[in-house]
Structure 1
Amino acid sequence: MINEQIRDKEVRLIGADGEQLGIMSAREAYKLAQEAELDLVKIAPGAKPPVCKIIDYGKYRYELARKEKEARKKQKTVELKEVRLSPNIDTNDLNTKMNAARKFISKGNKVKVTLRFRGREMAHVQASKHILDDFAEALADIAVVEKAPKLEGRSMGMVLAEKR
């Protein structure tokens, strides 16, 4: 809220150079802001009494937008990468897939390991669960199982995340 929008009876006022001007009515504070040719901006509406500051509103909004943009820049989005396996995978192929998953996890991404069943392979679902267990065990030094192996339709999947 700025200028005339502030309808509180009394506010705590902070001057343009950051010093406390004390508690006064919103009208008096607005008059002081007009004399300084600046805006009266409510910066802490939850406080008792609300805190207002005499500042240039355009500059204030610009600073807030800059801080927000800077905070977004520092965030890292965690992606979900997928590694697909089949029940009759050979050990060397499995090691290749493990190395790929290890690379994804070390970069900070989560890895979804999917074991896909086709045709008659559906008859041996429980016998193939050990592949996912071995996969998780091999990556236990850098990863933790976030979502345990679960059968969903014709595929069994689990999610691995970086160890904290």
Structure 2
Amino acid sequence: MIDHENNNRGLIDTYEALQIAQSVELDLVVVSQNEDIPVAKILNYGKLQYQKKKRQGSSARPTVKEVRFRPNVGAGDYNLRINQALQWLSKGDSVKFAIRLRGRENQYRQQAGDMLDRIVTDLGQVGKVQSLDKRSLIVQIMPA
């Protein structure tokens, strides 16, 4: 048995281990079920479950990074954002590109659609297209 201060108490009767756990107001939990001798530990079981759930939630949650463009973005800014997206995709994050049109820029909707196609071709080796919406000018790319 291992007590609440991580000290090894050796072989102890189950009833005695339960009394020790009750005296410090904690739970007696079987940590490993060996063939000969099971190992039990005195700890707060609710806290253990909470930490386990928290670890699972944080590791399973994919993040979506968003990049916004205007249709007349410069080459340097475009390359910077594409390189940033490459890093995010290599880490396992999804990237969402949105092109915003304001005022007279709506006349050049075709150029914005071409820019989406250019983004898809530039990131084609690292990611795959999850959704492409040329009407709302949004493309979402997930890691390949």
In the superposition, the TM-score normalised over structure 1's length comes to 0.55
Distance 2:125 2:50 in 1: 36
Residues 95-126 of structure 1, C-alpha deviations (whole Å, 9 max, x = no match): 11101111222222211101111111101212
Distance 2:50 2:90 in 1: 28
State which of 129, 135, 138 in structure 2 corresponds to 1:157: 138
Q: Look up the SS of the partner of 1:66 in the other structure.
A: helix
Q: What letter is aligned with 1:83?
A: V
Off by >6 Å, runs of 4+ in structure 1: none
Q: Is structure 2 residue 55 aligned with structure 1 residue 73?
A: yes
1:1-164 to 2 correspondences below 5 Å: 59=27, 62-63=44-45, 65-74=47-56, 75-76=58-59, 77-152=61-136, 156-163=137-144
Structure with more strand by fraction: 1
Distance 1:64 1:133 in 2: 51
Q: What letter is aligned with 2:131?
A: K
Q: Look up the SS of the partner of 1:151 in the other structure.
A: coil
Residues 14-68 of structure 1, C-alpha deviations (whole Å, 9 max, x = no match): xxx7xxxxxxxxxxxxxxxxxx7x8xxxxxxxxxxxxxxxxx9x72694365145
Structure 1 gaps, min length 5: 1-16, 18-35, 39-55
Offset of residue 72 of structure 1 = 2.7
Is the 1:132–1:149 Cα contact (8 Å) retained in structure 2? Answer: no
> Rg: which structure is higher?
1
Count residues in correspondence.
111
Distance 1:162 1:64 in 2: 36
Structure 2 gaps, min length 5: 1-13, 30-42
Distance 2:80 2:111 in 1: 22
